[in-house]
Structure 1
């Protein structure tokens, strides 16, 4: 029997690539999207709910699937208000994990960030760390947290910090080897590949570090 997957964040860089790959994957019969804006994707496999994601809990009856992929995330530039920032990067993934627990959905895969830490002095990393901690508290059987460094790909908006790091990485090959390898930017398509692999296999690690995302994606070309 073919599976049903839910994607949160299908209009973003990683989520959009993930959606395309799942649509092409014969193991999946339906892809359910919860989004603020339309993904622009139509077809028999797509079921889309255009909602206020802060009110995801109100869609409990529609939140049913075999697997949930959460690609939600924002930036300081896009969301300077810290309360709103936390509501997005912490609140939405935690709400999704709670609904997984309610409906006994046993696979939850979420994109976090390298450096996520509840005790970090950096607000962004601290919020990601708090999100990870709360998600794990739901004790969903197959929980995987991906921790990418900078994510590469064609975005609609420009991110100055990411552009600078990419230029630095391209000019300094040693960032791709040795102890600095863990900071190597990861293409969004590799994150999507790793997420699908993890949903369809067993992996002993819950937190998938940046270099492991590269390894999983490269091993499943």
Structure 2
């Protein structure tokens, strides 16, 4: 049986690797990307829906595409967004809009890239928004809602992030020191997160499943 994957955030670091893996996966005969700009790829499986994320529910409904699994790698930083409200729009509003649209299109699994420390009860704005988005997605009633909480995501980004670049350089030395409960804070390659998402979509798990470093590494190797 062939399936259709629905993807948001394909132009980002994790999303770029995720898109390539989905296009290579024999599980899917169609990969539908919801995007504000073209991903710049040509592939027999690939379908692009270029739309504003404010109106993506309407755009997806008009396309009449039936989805099976929805993958969300949307995300920004407060610095890049420019303000807390702008960050909230991307990391909460757009994520939840996409999840609603995916559910309406028939998706039964939703796979979301979040962040370590995400909690709706956090006193840290970034972590609180991430946690609120997780809760809102899980409340939509997908058969399975896979939440991926990486620490520092390792990989080459299009934008300059000096602090992250410094941390990435230190991770080969820091990662071995992060053991036991601290293992969840290890840096993880973007492609490992992407591979774990594709593997999780093929599992029979149900309900809300949270993945941190160890489970993502294990899934990626499966």
Count of aligned positions: 219
The Cα shift of 1:173 comes to 5.1
The Cα shift of 1:131 comes to 0.3
Q: Which one of 126, 129, 143 corresponds to residue 128 of structure 2? A: 126
1:206 matched residue in structure 2: 209
The C-alpha deviation readout for 1:13-48, integer Å capped at 9, x for no partner, is 111111111111112111111111111011221111
Give the conservation status (yes or no) of the 8 Å contact 2:114–2:148: yes
Give the conservation status (yes or no) of the 8 Å contact 2:4–2:68: yes
2:22 matched residue in structure 1: 22
RMSD: 1.7
Superposed structure 1 runs of 4+ greater than 3 Å apart: 171-174
C-alpha distance in 2, partners of 1:91/1:175? 37
> TM-score, normalized by length of structure 2?
0.92
1:21-100 correspondence to structure 2 within 5 Å: 21-61=21-61, 62=63, 64-100=66-102
> Match of 1:130, SS?
helix
Structure 1: which 5+ residue stretches go unaligned?
A: none
Give the conservation status (yes or no) of the 8 Å contact 2:175–2:187: no
Q: Which one of 97, 103, 106 corresponds to residue 108 of structure 2? A: 106
> TM-score, normalized by length of structure 1?
0.92
The Cα shift of 1:176 comes to 4.0
Give the conservation status (yes or no) of the 8 Å contact 2:92–2:129: yes
The C-alpha deviation readout for 1:164-206, integer Å capped at 9, x for no partner, is 3223333335434333221110101111111111111123661
Structure 2: which 5+ residue stretches go unaligned?
A: none
Structure 2 vs 1, CA of residues 196 and 172 (structure 1 numbering), >3 Å: closer, same or farther? closer
Which has the higher mean CA deviation after the structures are superposed, 197-206 or 33-42?
A: 197-206
